[in-house]
Structure 1
């Protein structure tokens, strides 16, 4: 699908510090950066006391520590859940709290969150205090079961709450009603990190460290894990999240990060000394997620907890193998989905506005990625379903700008009682369950509801460009300057430019990537360029001599040498 190219307007950047390069000043100003946001020190993080429920949770955990109660971290089976779990376990150990354990549900046996069967496992483990991370805000029955079993429950989450909250002893979620914490897009790992900071302060006030005879720990050493989970969960990089991610990346580049993160970067052939947020998002995160998608996320947690680089490399290699298996599954599922949609187009001459896909042999652990790929290709809201049992299917939803997915599912649920037994999530991503017999009805209702709520013009995808880059900025120096001005990511998009070029050479590499040599229209400069996953029906095309490219400046590293490369997001023959 060709996306509409829209150029960002030039804005006033006089409020930003003069020491910034003029190019960087303008790029940051276009993304709404205030003068204060240019400083990304950890001391500028939002204060913990503004997070509703954090003080209650910290006091409860401090009481539990003094009473030597057994704490159990209940995580989620994605990268945010794994990093949240790891941050809590490492922090509790650093704080001198012994015996904490963790439990992450296998998605195929227990599903998402603190379920009633999972509480039974917690009872077997002898847990007295449950701490949910990256889940729990919708676990009404699970919390009730835990309370009935005599356990205390602390919920930490960032997902949108429903109308009814669980009856937990403490709830920490910046998205709950009445919470003044300014960063509503903080990831689950960020919330868990804040809880550990608050617990440290509470223990300090009680003289805990003096009693144990230990030095108060510096929990900032955990920000590499916090940064990984924040980027991998694709939350918006607002000012607070950028501080966390920047601090974590600095630890990685300095060689002071967890051995597991180093090993995952190595197995993905990324240089830790030059790590950027995209390395977390496209290299480390997927390998960590592969454990929860195809096997047990406990492998991912153990990799992050590991202190020995040799063992960490062994586990990273196992995660890499799972990720390769995940890719193969996803490729096959995507091909089947595209064939199905192409047939639909031929018969009806148009796609549904809301695409809901189901095939009984699809893998439950990969449907989220599948939904994302189909959404990107057709720029429509997509839900992919896989069989969960003989009578139930589970779906993973991805939305586009202008359509709040969780609100849409809530509307469908209210209009069609019983159609969606369970659902939850965010504006852009959600999960749900259906009776297998209701898939056909849901597909119709989903498409109809999307047509009702979504403006037609939003079905056309849009690429936001920072405009044409002057030739003097088409340099390796400019690429490195942009790279150093991040972290870039969701909601704080890496600068993208557009322009016309002469196409001098073109060839396929890796079967589906287009490697090019282009020249500026003025003929003064030749540049390497690459476009990944091109439409093989259109490219390569020897008849094309001129192209319009939407591209990012990329630093290509090969055998220790750096060179400038245009990373092409969209190519159009001119």
Structure 2
């Protein structure tokens, strides 16, 4: 699909111009609304303080009393990477603080569904906890927390998701996105919220001379930021300055080989080295392997992998997660082929629905979200992939494009068709929903109609946003390394992409459908590679020039470092 290349704009402030930053970095930062180098600080001392988090003092008081009285604490997590890393963080640090009775429980998506639900609460009772702490969930657990109150079990909610109209009657709620919360950053992941609660609890323990009285070494919470970085990146929250600080320090631990054994083991089974880790690896290498447990079986395996301090156990569990991930890939590939087969039955691209809904009786509920994301990327349209579940219901996972707030779309359909959707929730770019199987066709038509009412054909042209052109003198290992170090890059602080026109000197296939290129700009030669190209289109001996969108990268081969362009998009220059 042909894409539209859009260049960012942004005026470079005088403070940036007067800094020692490379001119290309000045441009990149200006494009991301940075106008002062103080906004680039990554020292832990510049983290936002915890005091503005509503409810944190009450939560800390409950946790402090639980430690003093050695009560049984149960951590209730979620079945994604943020939930797993939040659970592991809370268990590890509370143990380091001196908790003797602490367990964790993660729901099975196929049996109990999301978060602390009434179905999960039945299992909670088997643990006989004195205190429940939710991580990365709980803000919507109105019914389950009402049940906990009936059993006189206080619940501390730590979450980051948007709240509904009714808040649960929890003993304490810590969530920067709850009403009346004044914490300046609303972008903390669930693991970030958990980290802040632990920061506040440590301050309380220090104030009460807890560590000295109990002869416990006071934990340095910076040593746990590998888990915070993992959950933050994998959950695709916006990397504002506060999150960049957390992720940067966590990446330092991982690259120094000081991450938890489970993270190191996952790098190993993926054929990667943690010492050469990049931020993107947390989302695209480690994240999928942990997520595979929650998608196909039970995320408890992922949590245990992040909790173990035994090297052999870490390797064994990482191997199990790798096997699950391979199975997930196989299921995903089959489902993708089937999905495109269903879509192609509608005709060519011009005949496709603007809002795509697809359902197949054999699709796996745990993989529909990934397939929806893949189809959204390929079609540049909002996509909902459905799977059949129990009791005559179908469950859908939605992924959207920037021009469409998917939850607002679902709300409009719900308001116009009461009862059509049984349940739904999510945010701008992703959502989940359930409906009766008999209502699928009516919903599919309503979804396409609603998308058509909101968009025009231009909105469906995939857009690539770049930081403009580079000169031939900018193609250097030094600049590539400066850009990498200038991160961490991620959601809301995108890794720089550049675009330009190049002459083709050489082109050939390497590996499986990867196009290796030698390109020329003003007589300067540079290597480039484009992954997973269409073999029916490339190599193209008739093409002498191409427009490409690319990232600067360093290729290390036999100890020699050379600049390499990582091609995200390419098209022939016509005429």
Q: Secondary structure at the match of 2:351?
A: coil
Answer whether contact 2:480 2:554 (CA < 8 A) is retained: yes
Distance 1:228 1:559, change over 3 A: farther
Q: Which of 132, 135, 138 is 2:137 aligned to?
A: 135
Corresponding residue for 1:190? Answer: 192
Q: CA deviation at 1:11?
A: 1.9
Q: Secondary structure at the match of 2:551?
A: strand
Q: CA deviation at 1:511?
A: 2.7
Corresponding residue for 1:545? Answer: 544
- Could you state the TM-score of these two structures normalised by the residue count of structure 1? 0.96
Q: In structure 2, how many angstroms separate the alpha carbons of the residues matched to 1:415 and 1:99?
A: 50
Corresponding residue for 1:164? Answer: 166
Q: CA deviation at 1:565?
A: 1.4
Corresponding residue for 1:344? Answer: 346
Q: Secondary structure at the match of 1:407?
A: helix
What is the CA deviation profile of residues 109-156 of structure 1, one whole-angstrom value per residue up to 9, with x for unaligned ones? Answer: 111111112101010011121111111111221212222222111111
Q: In structure 1, how many angstroms separate the alpha carbons of the residues matched to 2:342 and 2:561?
A: 43
Residue 257 in structure 1 maps to residue 256 in structure 2: no
Answer whether contact 1:138 1:424 (CA < 8 A) is retained: no
Corresponding residue for 2:9? Answer: 9
Answer whether contact 1:380 1:459 (CA < 8 A) is retained: yes
Answer whether contact 2:549 2:569 (CA < 8 A) is retained: yes
Answer whether contact 1:270 1:279 (CA < 8 A) is retained: no
Q: In structure 1, how many angstroms separate the alpha carbons of the residues matched to 2:293 and 2:62?
A: 32
Corresponding residue for 2:453? Answer: 452
Give the count of matched residue pairs: 571
CA RMSD of aligned residues (A): 1.7
Corresponding residue for 2:125? Answer: 123
Corresponding residue for 1:471? Answer: 472
Answer whether contact 1:514 1:531 (CA < 8 A) is retained: yes
Q: CA deviation at 1:385?
A: 1.1
Corresponding residue for 1:113? Answer: 115
Corresponding residue for 2:377? Answer: 376
Q: In structure 1, how many angstroms separate the alpha carbons of the residues matched to 2:192 and 2:366?
A: 25
Residue 326 in structure 1 maps to residue 317 in structure 2: no
Corresponding residue for 2:59? Answer: 57
Corresponding residue for 2:568? Answer: 569
Distance 1:435 1:569, change over 3 A: same
What is the CA deviation profile of residues 333-365 of structure 1, one whole-angstrom value per residue up to 9, with x for unaligned ones? Answer: 11111121122134x942222111111111111
Distance 1:363 1:508, change over 3 A: farther
Greater Cα shift, 511-520 or 162-171: 511-520
Corresponding residue for 1:387? Answer: 388
Distance 1:169 1:453, change over 3 A: farther
Q: In structure 2, how many angstroms separate the alpha carbons of the residues matched to 1:98 and 1:399?
A: 45
What is the CA deviation profile of residues 371-404 of structure 1, one whole-angstrom value per residue up to 9, with x for unaligned ones? Answer: 1111111111111111221412211111111322
Distance 1:10 1:171, change over 3 A: closer
What is the CA deviation profile of residues 224-247 of structure 1, one whole-angstrom value per residue up to 9, with x for unaligned ones? Answer: 110011111111111111111001
Answer whether contact 1:137 1:155 (CA < 8 A) is retained: yes
Q: In structure 1, how many angstroms separate the alpha carbons of the residues matched to 2:146 and 2:83?
A: 22
Answer whether contact 1:264 1:316 (CA < 8 A) is retained: yes
What is the CA deviation profile of residues 549-573 of structure 1, one whole-angstrom value per residue up to 9, with x for unaligned ones? Answer: 1000112234544332111111000
Distance 1:387 1:562, change over 3 A: farther
Q: CA deviation at 1:426?
A: 1.7
Q: Secondary structure at the match of 1:345?
A: coil
Corresponding residue for 2:436? Answer: 435
1:76-475 alignment to 2 at 5 Å?
Answer: 76-346=78-348, 349-454=350-455, 456-475=457-476
Q: In structure 1, how many angstroms separate the alpha carbons of the residues matched to 2:509 and 2:387?
A: 34
What is the CA deviation profile of residues 285-333 of structure 1, one whole-angstrom value per residue up to 9, with x for unaligned ones? Answer: 1111111111211111111111123321222122112111111111111
Greater Cα shift, 489-498 or 394-403: 394-403
- Could you state the TM-score of these two structures normalised by the residue count of structure 2? 0.96
Answer whether contact 1:86 1:304 (CA < 8 A) is retained: yes
Q: In structure 2, how many angstroms separate the alpha carbons of the residues matched to 1:254 and 1:261?
A: 12
Q: In structure 1, how many angstroms separate the alpha carbons of the residues matched to 2:457 and 2:154?
A: 49
Query: 5+ residue gaps in structure 1?
Result: none
Greater Cα shift, 266-275 or 497-506: 266-275
Q: In structure 2, how many angstroms separate the alpha carbons of the residues matched to 1:56 and 1:111?
A: 29
1:522-561 alignment to 2 at 5 Å?
Answer: 522-523=522-523, 525-561=524-560
Q: CA deviation at 1:533?
A: 2.2
Q: In structure 2, how many angstroms separate the alpha carbons of the residues matched to 1:558 and 1:315?
A: 32
Q: CA deviation at 1:2?
A: 2.1
Q: Secondary structure at the match of 2:5?
A: strand
Answer whether contact 1:13 1:26 (CA < 8 A) is retained: no
Q: In structure 1, how many angstroms separate the alpha carbons of the residues matched to 2:243 and 2:497?
A: 21
Q: In structure 2, how many angstroms separate the alpha carbons of the residues matched to 1:160 and 1:512?
A: 42
What is the CA deviation profile of residues 137-195 of structure 1, one whole-angstrom value per residue up to 9, with x for unaligned ones? Answer: 11221212222222111111111111111221111111111111122121111111111
Greater Cα shift, 208-217 or 160-169: 208-217
Q: Secondary structure at the match of 1:498?
A: strand
Q: Secondary structure at the match of 2:161?
A: coil
Residue 491 in structure 1 maps to residue 496 in structure 2: no
Q: Secondary structure at the match of 2:361?
A: coil
Q: In structure 2, how many angstroms separate the alpha carbons of the residues matched to 1:388 and 1:516?
A: 47
Q: CA deviation at 1:447?
A: 1.5
Q: Secondary structure at the match of 1:552?
A: strand
Q: CA deviation at 1:482?
A: 0.8
Q: CA deviation at 1:431?
A: 1.3
Q: CA deviation at 1:455?
A: 5.4
Q: In structure 1, how many angstroms separate the alpha carbons of the residues matched to 2:75 and 2:420?
A: 33
Q: In structure 1, how many angstroms separate the alpha carbons of the residues matched to 2:264 and 2:478?
A: 27
Q: CA deviation at 1:31?
A: 0.9
Corresponding residue for 2:22? Answer: 21
Corresponding residue for 1:500? Answer: 501
